[in-house]
Amino acid sequence: MDKLKISILGSGNLGTSIANGLYESGIFKPENITLTRRKLQKLEHMRDKGFILTDDNIEAVKAADVIIVAVEPQHINKVLVEIKSGMREEHLLISVATGVKIAQISEQIGNSCTIIRAMPNTAVAVKESMTCICYNKADEKSVEIAENIFNTVGKTLVIEEELMSSSTALAACGTAFFLRAIRAASQGGIEIGFPSKEAIKMAAQTAKGAATLLLTSENHPEFEVDRVTTPLGCTIAGLNRMEHEGFSSALIKGITTSAEKARNLYKKNEK
Ligand SMILES: NC(=O)c1ccc[n+]([C@@H]2O[C@H](COP(=O)([O-])OP(=O)(O)OC[C@H]3O[C@@H](n4cnc5c(N)ncnc54)[C@H](OP(=O)(O)O)[C@@H]3O)[C@@H](O)[C@H]2O)c1
């Protein structure tokens, strides 16, 4: 991996977060990583870390084994057409552009290089993203490279492409759902006596602790809930009240609504 040459086309929020993740992992060398964007001066801070900077996407493609396309969906076609002449069949192209399907990318590129799609979330910035990746046909090595890259900014799961819009709802929109849950908990905390700042800290750390319990033990959530809910206790009283008010139902309905919306957005993008 330390010899792998990677170019990130469109190094904005996500692109630079991935670059920093690769850099800090120690597995990938910054001198093997090229970053592009049109306003190159905005990337100057990355030069100090040893990354190569250019505003020439074709030059970046020619220098790379792996190309990560991290531009906004509305810019991707322009970039794909631009780099077409520099693309080789041996290239691995990873696209993080929301809603742009492998078939659409392949059509623009016009050769049979390996294409993998990835859907991270905004927690890439703190290396805690849940990233889903998918491919139609890819060799084991390419999948391993994609997993290694996204494991530097969180956790990675391989899924079918038809589930990418569902993954957007659960794991990308999901960041907002859990943030809102934390905000609601903190509002409850204020009502029972804590100043806002302390209430948010307490709610966020409690949420983090609950998530960590699940991720480290791999227990079912109800197993962990059972451990906190003593008979006649205050936890079960609060929990049941929340359920009477539609807590689980609201979350499930929100996720299915977002997934439906994401599926329709994708259809619009195809036109
Ligand atoms: N942020 C996330 O957590 C997240 C999560 C999941 C998926 N995504 C997807 O990831 C992609 C990037 O998201 P983002 O939040 O990083 O957006 P962003 O901050 O706007 O970054 C995109 C960058 O692409 C550059 N760009 C545009 N046209 C270009 C071109 N022709 N050549 C080179 N660079 C070009 C832009 O810089 P210049 O204007 O300087 O060129 C911009 O900084 C989007 O498709 C988004 O849907 C993001």
Which residue is closest in CA terms to ligand 1's atom 18?
12
Range scoring the smallest mean pLDDT among 22-26, 156-160, 195-199? 22-26
Q: For residue 127, what pLDDT is reported? A: 92
Which residue is closest in CA terms to ligand 1's atom 33?
37
What is the mean predicted confidence (pLDDT) over 250-254?
98
Among the listed residues 177, 196, 179, the one whose alpha carbon sits nearest the alpha carbon of residue 187? 196
d(CA 150, CA 254) in angstroms, rounded, equals 27
In the structure, what pLDDT confidence band is assigned to residue 253 with cuts at 50, 70 and 90? very high
Which residue is closest in CA terms to ligand 1's atom 32?
37
- What structural domains does the chain harbor? 6-159 (3.40.50.720), 167-270 (1.10.3730.10)
What is the mean predicted confidence (pLDDT) over 222-246?
97
Site to probe by mutation for ligand 1, drawn from 7, 11, 17, 37 as the one with most ligand atoms within 8 Å of Cβ, is 37
Whole-number Å distance, alpha carbon 7 to ligand 1 midpoint, is 14
- 17 CA: nearest ligand 1 atom: 16
Among the listed residues 75, 58, 47, 68, the one whose alpha carbon sits nearest the alpha carbon of residue 5? 68
SS3 233: coil
Q: For residue 265, what pLDDT is reported? A: 72
SS3 70: coil
Distance of CA 243 to the CA centre of its chain: 30
